[in-house]
Amino acid sequence: MYAVMAGAAGACVALFVLHSARIPVGSASPTQLLYGASVGPIIEEPIFRGAAFSVIYVTACSSRVLSHWRIGLSIVVSSLLFVWCHTRAIGISWMVIFLMGVVYALLRWRSNSAATSALMHATYNCVIAVAMIHPAGV
C-alpha cells in the first residue's frame, strides 16, 4: 500500500514541479504509455534496484574504506544509472528522474525487495501516463 501511495504522491510532486517550471509533461503513444505503466517497471527495477543495487552494495562491503558508505553508494549510483538510461538532458527533468530513482532505491532497501519499488514505479508511471493523456488537467 505504501508503494502505491508513494508512487502516486511522487508523480503528483513531479507534475507540480514540471507545471511550475512550465515544462510540458510530454507525449507518448498509447503503446508507449502502456509499456511504461506495466512492462517498463517490471524490467527496470530488477536491473537497477535488483542487480545494480546489490552489486554496488556487495562491492562496497568488500572494501574497508567504502563499507561505511555501502547503502548511500548503492542508492546514489543505482539512481545515477537509472537517470542516465532515461535522459541525457541536464535540468529539472534529470533531477525529477534522479530523485525518483533515489526514492525507489530507498524503498527497495527498506523492504529488501525490488518488487515494492517496481509497484511504486508502475504507479508513478500510471499517474504520469494519465497526465499525458489529459494534459489540460495538470
User: What is the Cα–Cα distance from 137 to 59, expressed in whole angstroms?
Assistant: 46
> Does the pLDDT value for residue 134 go beyond 80?
no
Rounded (5°) CA angle 74-55-76 = 15
Task: Give the pLDDT of residue 100.
Answer: 93
**pLDDT of 12-65, one tens digit each?**
999 998 888 888 887 788 888 888 888 999 999 999 999 999 999 999 888 877
Predicted TM-score of the model (pTM) = 0.86
Task: Give the pLDDT of residue 29.
Answer: 85
* Interval 90-109 mean pLDDT: 92
Task: Give the pLDDT of residue 121.
Answer: 95
Neighbouring C-beta atoms of residue 5, cutoff 10 Å: 11
* Interval 93-109 mean pLDDT: 93
* Interval 82-101 mean pLDDT: 89
